[in-house]
Structure 1
Amino acid sequence: MLSVNRHLIIALITGTIILMSLLHLALNTINPTAHSIQSSANFSIQRFFLIDAENNLQLSDMYNAPFTSNLKQKTPWRISPQSYWLKYALSNSSPATTELIMHFDNAMLDTLFVYQVASNNTLIKQRALGWKNQQLSLLNRSISNFKFELAAFSSNDIYIRIQTQGIAKTPINIYKPEHFQEYVRSVHLIWGGFIGIICMMALYNLVIYSGLKEPIYLVYILYLASVLTMTSIVQGFAHYLFPTSVIALLRPNIISINYLTLAFALLFAVYFLNLKGLNNKYYKRCLMIFYSIISLSALSILLNENQSAPLFFITMFGTYVLCFWLLYSSYRTNRQWSKLYIISWIPLLLGGAVQSMELTDVIPYTFLTRHFFSLCILLEITLMAMALTERLRQQKERANFNASHDLETGLPNYHALETALQTRLSRQENFSLCLIKVTGFNQLSPYLSSHQSQLILNALIACIATQTALHSHFLWITEKHLAGQKIARVKDNVFAILLSEYKQTNTIIDQLHPLHQSMKEMFKDSPNSMLLRTHIGFYRVNNAHQNASDIVKKTSQAIAAAVLEGRDINAFDNHQHLSLDIAKDFQQALQENKLELYHQPQIALERNTVHGSEALLRWKHPSKGYIPAQILVDLAENTGLINQLTLWVITRACQDISALIAQGYNQHQVSVNISASDIADSDFLENLKSILERYPIPKHLLTLELTESVMIHDYQHLQQVMNGLSEMKIDVSIDDYGTGYSSLTHLLQLPFNELKIDRLFIQALDGNKRNLDIVKTTIDMAKILNLRVVAEGIETQEVIDILKDCGCEIVQGYFYAKPQPFSEYLHWLHQITAAQKPV
C-alpha cells in the first residue's frame, strides 16, 4: 500500500510539472494574431467582397466593380468552384513608409492572386500564391503571405482573388515583419509538437505491435498516420513532411484521406471494444461499414472536392453515431478500460465543434480557435494511447489471473497453490495441506448433461467454501480475501485447502470431519450425485526445507491411500503411505502381463473417420476391482516401476498396431503416455529402439504423449530425447495442453508433431466465452507451427460443431466411444468399416 501511494505521489508531481509547462507555453503563444495592424491607430482598413460565380472577372474589372462592405454583410463562404474577390482598402497615417506582411490562413487554397494597387489604379505589386504554385519558398507554401510596403500618408488597395475546390474561407491578418516572425515561430512550435508527439506514439505502438502482434496497435498507427497526413495538409506543414510530388497527389484527394481517417477510427473502436470476441454479428456489420467507407474513399478520388465533401459529412455523422452506440454498449458491460477511450471522444467532438463554429463565423477567428482542433486531436490520441495502455494492463492482469486460476470455476489452480505453499514455507510456517478428491465421476458422467455436471461442481464448491469460511483455522490460498480464495482446484475432481498448525493428527481429522460430513450430506440429498463420494488426504508441514511439489506429492499419496483403502480422511504416513499389499499385487500383475490396454478412438473431424486411438492403462485388482489409472501411475512412480510400466505399455501398443495392420488398418495411429521419469531414464531411447526392432511397424503410427509438466525438468536432456525420437520418425504430442508449464519457446524449439488440448478447456465450450477464445487461439497457433490438434473430452454435438468452426482436426471423447478393451475396440472398428459410413 505504501509503494502504491509513493508511486501515486510521483505521478501527481510529474503531471503537475507537465501541466505547468503547458500553461506557460499557452500563455506565450495564445494569440499572436493580436499583434496584427488591425489593432494599430496608424492604419485604417476597410474590407469588401465580391462573388465571381462565372470565374471570368479580371483585375481590371475590379476597379469599378460593385463590392459589398464587410460591415454590411459577412463574406458568404461556400464549398463551391466560384471565385471570391476581396478588397482591402489600406491607409497609412504615419509619417514613415511601413513594411507589412499580409497572411492568408488557409493552406488548402488552390490558387490565390494578390495585387497591390495605388489610389490611381496603378498596379504596384502582384503575386501568385496557393499550394499549386511550386515556385514558392517552403515558408510561403506552408504559410501563405504577401510582403508589401505602404508609403507614408498614402492609401493603397489590396485585391485578392481566391479560387479553390474546397473550403474557401480565408482569415487574413496584416503584420509588421517582427510580429509576423513571432506568429511563424508560434505556428512552428505547435506543428513541431504535433508531429513529434504523433511520431513518438506511432513508434512506441509499433514496438508494442512487433512484440504482441495484436492488430489493434497496427490500426492505431494507421489512424495516427492518417490524422498526421490530414492535419498537415489542412494546416500547411505537409510541405515540411512530404515531397512536392506527394503533396500534388494528396491535396486534391483530401476527402479520401478524411475517409481513411474515419475508417481507421471505426476499425480502432471495433478492435478496442473486442467486438469480434463479444458479438460476431456486430463485428461483421462494422467490417462491412469499414469496407464501405474505404470504397467511398476510392470513389471520392474521381469526384471534385465540392462534390464529395457533402457525402463525407453525412458519412462522418453516421459513423460517429455508430461509434457512440458501440461505446455506450461497451460502457454498459462495465469494461473498465473502455472509459478512457470514451473520454477520448470528448476533445475530438469539442475540437470539431469549435472548428465548425469558426468556419461559420459563430465564434471569431483567433490563433487559438484556428489551432484548437489540432490541440484537441493531440489530446484525443493521447487519451487513446492511455486507453490502450490501460487495456494492455488489464489484459495482463487477466492473463495472470487465467494462469493462476481454474478457467471453469475461477478458483486458484495448481500453480496458485504451489505459490501459496512456497510463500508459507519461506515464512517458516507450520501448516497442513489437504486434498479433497471426489470419486465416482467416471461412472456417473455418461448419465449427466454438461449443465448437470456443472451444477454438482458448483454445489460442491459452495459447500467447501461455506465450511472453510466458518472457521479461521482454514487458511487463505491467495492474498486477496475474496470469496472462494480458500479453495484451489488442482484437477478435475481434486480440490485443495490449507489448515493452520495442529500438532496431533487426530485433531486435524476432527477439524476436517464436519467438512467431509457436509459434502456427504450434499451428495446424499442430490439424485444426480448419489454415486459420488469424497475422500480427504492431508500432510502436516513442519519443515521449511521442503518444497511445494514434494508436499503436494505426499498429500496425493495420502489421498490415494484413502481411495484404495476406502477411508474418508487419511493422513500421510512416512512409514506406511502406500498399501504394501496393493503395491505387491501391482508389481506381480506387471510381471505376469495381467495389465490391460483400453483404446478410445480419435476421430478426424474433416472426414469424420477414425484417425487412431489413445491407449489407456487399466488394471483390475482381484479384490478391489479396477484401480484408477492415476493411482497406478503414482504407485509405479513411488515403487520405482514407472520405467518398466511405460515399456510394457509401449510394447503392448506395438502389438496392437501390428494387429491393426494385419486387419487392414494401415494408417491407424496409437498414442501412449510417457512420464518425466521416462524422459529422465538414460536408457529410454535404447529400450524403445529394441521394442521397435521386435515389432517392425511404421514408426509414425506410434505417438508418444508428454504432459506439460515434463517441460520443467532437465530441458537440455529433454531436447536430446526429443531429437532422438524425431530421428526415429516417432510422433510426439503435448498432452493436456494449457494446464502445465509449456511455452511458445518450447513449441518452437522442440520437434513436436501434435498438440492435445486439455478437457478442461473443451467441456462447456459452448457456454464459456473465455474457453472458446483460448481454444481458438491455441488452434490458430498450432496451425502456424504445423502441429496437429487433438481435443479431448468431447461429449456433445454442439462442442463438435464449435471445434469444426475453429479448425480443430482430431477429437476424442465419450460422444464417440468410451475406452474399451482392444478386442471390443476392434469389433467397434469393424462395424464402422463394414457399414462404410463415417463415425
Structure 2
Amino acid sequence: MEQQPFKYHIIALFILSILLFIVYTFANHLATPTRYTINKTAAVYLAQSYRIDPSKSLTLTAFLDESNSRIAEPFDTIPWGLKSQNYWLLMKLDNRTAVSKELYAHFDNPMIDYLTVYQLDNQGQLINTFNLGDRQTGLSLFEYSVPHIEFTVAAQNQSFLVIKIDTTGISKTPINLYGEAEFKDLLRAQTAIWGIFVGVLIMAALYNLVLYFGIRDRVYLIYIGYILSALILMGSVLGFGFYLWPVSLQKLFNLHIVVSNYAIAFFTLSFCTMFLRYHKDKCWRYKLSLILLGLMFVLGFASFFIVEYISSQIFFAVLVLLYIVCIILIYNKLLSGFRWAKFYMISWIPLIIGAAIQPLELTGVLEYSFTTRHAFLVAILCEVILMAMALADRVRYQREKALYHATHTEQTKLLNSAMLKQAYMTLQLNQRTASLCLIRITDFNSLSHILNQTQSCQLVVAIAKSLELQLSKEREFINLDNNLDTYPRIADLSNGVLAFISIKTQSAQSLHDKLTKIRKSLPKHHPVQGFDLQLNYAMGYCILDGESGFDTWLQNGYFSLTEAPQTSYPNNHSKVMPVTMNISLAAAFQNALKTNQLTIYHQPQIDLRSGQTIGSEALLRWPNAPYEQINIEALILLAERTGLINELTLWVLDQACQDIAKFNHAGFFKHKVSVNLSAKNLMIHNLIEKIENTLLKHNVPAKQLKFELTESALIANQQQMISLVEQLTRLGIEVILDDFGTGYSSLNCFVSYNFSTLKVDKSFIIGLPTHSANRVIVKAAIEMAHSLGLKVTVEGVEDVTTQQLLKAMGADYGQGYYYSKAIAVDDYLLWLAENKQAN
C-alpha cells in the first residue's frame, strides 16, 4: 500500500523538474536585454559626465558652460541619494559608422517626477527637447510606463544628450541606449515578465477570494490585501501600473509610493500573525505584533503629508522592526512544532533576497541589469506562490486535524465512537455478521476522583494497549483504522469503556467465553506514583441484527454492560450474574418509581425566528447515587423489557402536567411540555381517558401538552397507533414525530399520521456546519415538512453557527445545549425568568 503514493511522488518530482527547466529557459531569454546596449552592438562611442545641483537652480546654459564643474565619470558612479536635489547628466555620442543610427534612450525609473532631455548637435546647438516623468501631462501610456526617447545620430558625427532629473523620491535612473531591434527585445522581455507577474497575482487573488467565501477565514482576505499591495507597489516601481489603473490614480500611487511600501509591510505582518494563529494565543508576541501594526498604520497615513525622501528613510527603519518581529513570531512557532507552516517559512527566503537586492542595486553595490532590476518582482512572485502553497498546506492540516479530532478522543488519543459507527455502516452495507464487544474498567468514575486527568488517561491507554495485544491474536476482531501506530481495533467510548467488533459467526456462549478469557488476561494492577491500583472489568456484547440503527446497537451494548459482573466471579456464577444484576436493577428502579425518587428535567425549545421559549421536553432523571450515572436510555429499555414502561409513562405524564401547572402559576401560560410515548404504551388500558383525567387533575389545558413518538414506535401496531394519534389530536394535544431520520420512517407515515411537528434527530445536527451531506438531508427534511404543513423542531443545537444555519434553512424550533442542558423544574423556572421569556 505504500508503493502507490511513492510512485505518485516520483511522477510529481518529474513534473516539477520539467516546470523548473521551462522556467530556467524562459528566464535566460528574459535576462539578456541589458547586455545589448548600442555601445556593445555598434561603433557608437559614449562619453559621460554629470553634476549634482543641490540648489535646484542650475540652468542648461550654466551646466554646459561650467565644464569644470562636471565630473567626467560614468553614470554608474553617480552618488544617487534621497535628497532634494537635481541631477544633470551629459552624454556624448560619437557615431563612427558610415550610416546614421536610429537610437532609443531608455530611462529605467518610471517614478521620476520630471525628466527633461535636451538633444544638441556637435556645435552645441539645441535640436530637440523631450519632457518625460509622471508629473508631466499629455504623455502616452507607453511613455509613462517606459520612459524613453527616440533620436538620430548622423553618420560620422557627434550628438549630445543633456538629461535633467528632478524628483523628490528615488532618483537613481539607469540610462541605456538601444538600437530598434534591441529596444523591441527589451519591451518584449518587460511585457512578458509584467504579464506573468500580474496574471499570477490576479489569479491568486481571485482563487483566494473564492476560498474565503467557502471557508470564511480572514487570513485569505489579508493574503489578497498583500497581493493588491504588491501589484500597486511593483506597478509604480516598474511602470506597468499605468496599464492597470487610470493614469490619474497611478500618478497618485507614484506620488505616495511610501504608502504602498507601508501597505505591503502591514499585510506581511498581518498575514504572519494570522497565519501562525497568534490571534488565538493572545500572548505578548501577539500584542507586540498589534503595536507594530498600529505604528505602521499611523506612519503610513502620515506619509501622505511628509516629503517622500524623508518618509522613505523612516520606512527603512520600520522595515528593520518588521523583520525582527516576524522572525520572533516564526521562531517561536518553530520551537512549538509548527511544522505544517514549512512553505510559509520558505517563502521568506526569496522575499529577503529580493528585498536585499533592490536597495543594493539602487545604491550601486550591485551592478544594474535587467535581472537585478526585476529581482524584487520575481521574489514577490515566488513568495506569493509559496504563500498560496502554505495556505493550501494549512487547509490540509486543518482538515486532517478536524478529521483526527472527529475520530479520536481528545484525552487518550484513541479512536472514538465515530470510527465505530463507520465500521458499523460498512458491515451493515456488506450485510456482514458482527458483534459489538465492550470492556469497562469497573468503578472508573470513582477512580477519576482519585486520579487526575493525565493519570486517568494513562490508565485507559495502558488497558487499551494490553487489550489490543490480546485482540491481535484473533483474526475475528476487525481494524477500525488503517493507522498501525495507534490501537486500530479499539474505540474509546469514554468513562473507562473500550469497544471493539467481532465479525466471526458464532454462538453467544462462544463469544461470551472468548470475552471472558480476554477480560481475565487484562492487567489486574496499575502502578500510580508508587500506589498499586487494583483493577476489575465488566464486559458486554450485542449482536448486530441488521435492523436496529447504530445508536440502538451501541445502547444495547451499554445495557449488556449493566448486566455484566462488576468484579471477578467464579465460573459457575458467570451465567447467573447477568440475570441477577438485571433483576436487582429493575427492582431498584421500580422502587424509585413508587417512592418518587425519580424526577423530571426540562430542556427548553426555542423559536428560531423570535428567540422565544415555546416549550420544553420532559426528560427522565434518576438523581440518587449510585444510579445517577446509569444511562437513562438503558433504564427506559429496561423498563420496556420488564413491563415498567407503562407505569413509568403515566408517572412522567403526571409530573409533566404538574410542572405545566407550575409554569402557568408563574405566568408562562403558553409554555408547552413534550412527553415521550413508545409503542409499549398502547397496552395502557384507557390511555386517552387517563390522559384527560391527568389534565383535569392539574387543571392544565390540553394544548399545553405534546407527545413525541419515535419512528420505531410507528412500526408496531400501526393501526392502533394511527387511532391513538387521531384521538390525541381531537383532544387538542399535538403529536410530534421524534428522532426523524434514525428509524424506519417513510413518506407514508406523514400521510397516515396526523402529526403537527417533525423533530430532526441530533445525529444529523452535531457538526452540521462542516458536514455538507447532513446539511442537504436536514434542508430537504425541513422543506418536505413545510410542504406538508408541519413545523420542524431540531435537537442537538450546540453553537451559534448551527443555530444561524438552521434558521437560514427555515427550521422553526431549536433544542440543545446552546440554549441550556436539561435542568430541574425549579432551576428551569429561574432560567425562564432570567432569559425574559414570559409568554
Alpha-carbon separation, structure 1, partners of 2:532 and 2:663: 39
Deviation larger for 218-227 or 584-593: 584-593
Alpha-carbon separation, structure 1, partners of 2:28 and 2:130: 35
> Can you give the 5+ residue segments of structure 1 that lack an aligned partner in the other structure?
605-609, 759-774, 793-807, 813-818, 834-839
Correspondence for 2:710: 678
SS at match of 2:77: coil
Correspondence for 1:178: 181
Instruction: From the superposition, tell whether residues 42 and 618 of structure 1 become closer, same or farther in structure 2 (CA, over 3 Å).
Output: closer
1:162 aligns with 2:161: no
**Structure 1 residue 295: Cα displacement:** 2.4
1:23 aligns with 2:55: no
Instruction: From the superposition, tell whether residues 748 and 230 of structure 1 become closer, same or farther in structure 2 (CA, over 3 Å).
Output: farther
Which of 203, 217, 222 matches 2:220? 217
Alpha-carbon separation, structure 2, partners of 1:422 and 1:726: 29
1:300 aligns with 2:300: no
**Structure 1 residue 490: Cα displacement:** 3.4
SS at match of 1:433: strand
Correspondence for 2:86: 83
Which one-letter code corresponds to 1:165 in the other structure? T
Instruction: From the superposition, tell whether residues 51 and 370 of structure 1 become closer, same or farther in structure 2 (CA, over 3 Å).
Output: same
Which one-letter code corresponds to 1:48 in the other structure? S
Which one-letter code corresponds to 2:449 in the other structure? L
Instruction: From the superposition, tell whether residues 532 and 744 of structure 1 become closer, same or farther in structure 2 (CA, over 3 Å).
Output: farther
Q: Size of the alignment, in residue pairs?
A: 768
SS at match of 1:599: strand
Instruction: From the superposition, tell whether residues 462 and 137 of structure 1 become closer, same or farther in structure 2 (CA, over 3 Å).
Output: same
> Can you give the 5+ residue segments of structure 2 that lack an aligned partner in the other structure?
607-612, 679-707, 783-790, 834-839
Correspondence for 2:499: 496
How do 1:100-179 residues align onto structure 2 when only pairs under 5 Å count?
Answer: 100-179=103-182
Provide Cα deviations, 1:677-706, integer angstroms capped at 9, x if missing partner: 62565698996897698799xx9xx9x997
Instruction: From the superposition, tell whether residues 419 and 665 of structure 1 become closer, same or farther in structure 2 (CA, over 3 Å).
Output: closer
Equivalent residues of 1:460, 1:519 under 8 A apart? no
Which one-letter code corresponds to 2:50 in the other structure? F
Equivalent residues of 2:442, 2:567 under 8 A apart? no
Instruction: From the superposition, tell whether residues 565 and 421 of structure 1 become closer, same or farther in structure 2 (CA, over 3 Å).
Output: closer
Instruction: From the superposition, tell whether residues 463 and 591 of structure 1 become closer, same or farther in structure 2 (CA, over 3 Å).
Output: closer
Which of 194, 205, 210 matches 1:207? 210
Equivalent residues of 1:561, 1:578 under 8 A apart? no
Instruction: From the superposition, tell whether residues 264 and 73 of structure 1 become closer, same or farther in structure 2 (CA, over 3 Å).
Output: closer
Alpha-carbon separation, structure 2, partners of 1:441 and 1:721: 47
Alpha-carbon separation, structure 1, partners of 2:816 and 2:793: 15
Alpha-carbon separation, structure 2, partners of 1:488 and 1:456: 16
Correspondence for 2:193: 190
SS at match of 1:238: helix
How do 1:699-710 residues align onto structure 2 when only pairs under 5 Å count?
Answer: 710=741
Provide Cα deviations, 1:179-212, integer angstroms capped at 9, x if missing partner: 1011101100110111111111111111111211
Instruction: From the superposition, tell whether residues 298 and 469 of structure 1 become closer, same or farther in structure 2 (CA, over 3 Å).
Output: same
How do 1:540-689 residues align onto structure 2 when only pairs under 5 Å count?
Answer: 547=546, 553=552, 556-557=555-556, 559-564=558-563, 566=565, 596-599=598-601, 615-618=618-621, 628-635=631-638, 649=652, 652-662=655-665, 678-679=710-711
Alpha-carbon separation, structure 2, partners of 1:757 and 1:626: 23
Correspondence for 1:42: 43
**Structure 1 residue 263: Cα displacement:** 0.9
Instruction: From the superposition, tell whether residues 478 and 673 of structure 1 become closer, same or farther in structure 2 (CA, over 3 Å).
Output: farther
Instruction: From the superposition, tell whether residues 566 and 510 of structure 1 become closer, same or farther in structure 2 (CA, over 3 Å).
Output: closer
Alpha-carbon separation, structure 2, partners of 1:18 and 1:280: 42
Provide Cα deviations, 1:376-432, integer angstroms capped at 9, x if missing partner: 111111111111111111111122222222334322222211323455677887764
Equivalent residues of 2:111, 2:237 under 8 A apart? yes
**Structure 1 residue 453: Cα displacement:** 5.6
Alpha-carbon separation, structure 2, partners of 1:721 and 1:593: 40
Instruction: From the superposition, tell whether residues 651 and 253 of structure 1 become closer, same or farther in structure 2 (CA, over 3 Å).
Output: farther
Instruction: From the superposition, tell whether residues 678 and 595 of structure 1 become closer, same or farther in structure 2 (CA, over 3 Å).
Output: farther
Correspondence for 1:837: none
Correspondence for 2:403: 400
How do 1:424-463 residues align onto structure 2 when only pairs under 5 Å count?
Answer: 432-437=435-440, 444=446, 448=449, 452=452, 455-463=455-463
Deviation larger for 148-157 or 39-48: 39-48
Correspondence for 1:334: 337
Alpha-carbon separation, structure 2, partners of 1:368 and 1:105: 13
**Structure 1 residue 510: Cα displacement:** 4.6
Alpha-carbon separation, structure 2, partners of 1:74 and 1:252: 27
**Structure 1 residue 18: Cα displacement:** 1.4
Which of 321, 324, 345 matches 2:324? 321
* TM superposition score normalised by structure 2: 0.78
Correspondence for 2:465: 465
Which one-letter code corresponds to 1:175 in the other structure? Y
**Structure 1 residue 299: Cα displacement:** 1.5
Correspondence for 2:235: 232
Instruction: From the superposition, tell whether residues 175 and 388 of structure 1 become closer, same or farther in structure 2 (CA, over 3 Å).
Output: same
Which of 92, 96, 102 matches 1:93? 96
How do 1:763-774 residues align onto structure 2 when only pairs under 5 Å count?
Answer: none
Alpha-carbon separation, structure 1, partners of 2:257 and 2:650: 73
Which one-letter code corresponds to 1:83 in the other structure? N
Deviation larger for 325-334 or 506-515: 506-515
Equivalent residues of 1:434, 1:555 under 8 A apart? no
**Structure 1 residue 147: Cα displacement:** 0.7
Which one-letter code corresponds to 2:599 in the other structure? L
Alpha-carbon separation, structure 2, partners of 1:831 and 1:272: 41
Alpha-carbon separation, structure 2, partners of 1:357 and 1:811: 66
Equivalent residues of 1:116, 1:123 under 8 A apart? yes
1:14 aligns with 2:37: no
Equivalent residues of 2:88, 2:163 under 8 A apart? yes
Instruction: From the superposition, tell whether residues 553 and 162 of structure 1 become closer, same or farther in structure 2 (CA, over 3 Å).
Output: same
Which of 354, 365, 369 matches 2:368? 365
Equivalent residues of 1:437, 1:559 under 8 A apart? no
Alpha-carbon separation, structure 1, partners of 2:129 and 2:339: 60
**Structure 1 residue 96: Cα displacement:** 1.4
SS at match of 2:319: helix
Which of 353, 356, 370 matches 2:356? 353
* TM superposition score normalised by structure 1: 0.78
Alpha-carbon separation, structure 2, partners of 1:661 and 1:72: 95
SS at match of 2:177: strand
Equivalent residues of 2:524, 2:534 under 8 A apart? no
Provide Cα deviations, 1:590-629, integer angstroms capped at 9, x if missing partner: 999989433379999xxxxx999874325799x9999752
Equivalent residues of 2:408, 2:414 under 8 A apart? yes
Alpha-carbon separation, structure 1, partners of 2:444 and 2:250: 72
Deviation larger for 11-20 or 228-237: 11-20
SS at match of 1:260: helix
Which one-letter code corresponds to 1:262 in the other structure? A
Which one-letter code corresponds to 1:678 in the other structure? T
Deviation larger for 75-84 or 709-718: 709-718
Alpha-carbon separation, structure 2, partners of 1:597 and 1:151: 110
Alpha-carbon separation, structure 2, partners of 1:472 and 1:149: 93
SS at match of 1:298: helix
Correspondence for 1:805: none
SS at match of 1:337: helix
SS at match of 1:190: helix
Provide Cα deviations, 1:319-347, integer angstroms capped at 9, x if missing partner: 12111111111112222321110000000
Instruction: From the superposition, tell whether residues 717 and 159 of structure 1 become closer, same or farther in structure 2 (CA, over 3 Å).
Output: farther
Instruction: From the superposition, tell whether residues 600 and 201 of structure 1 become closer, same or farther in structure 2 (CA, over 3 Å).
Output: same
Instruction: From the superposition, tell whether residues 422 and 811 of structure 1 become closer, same or farther in structure 2 (CA, over 3 Å).
Output: closer
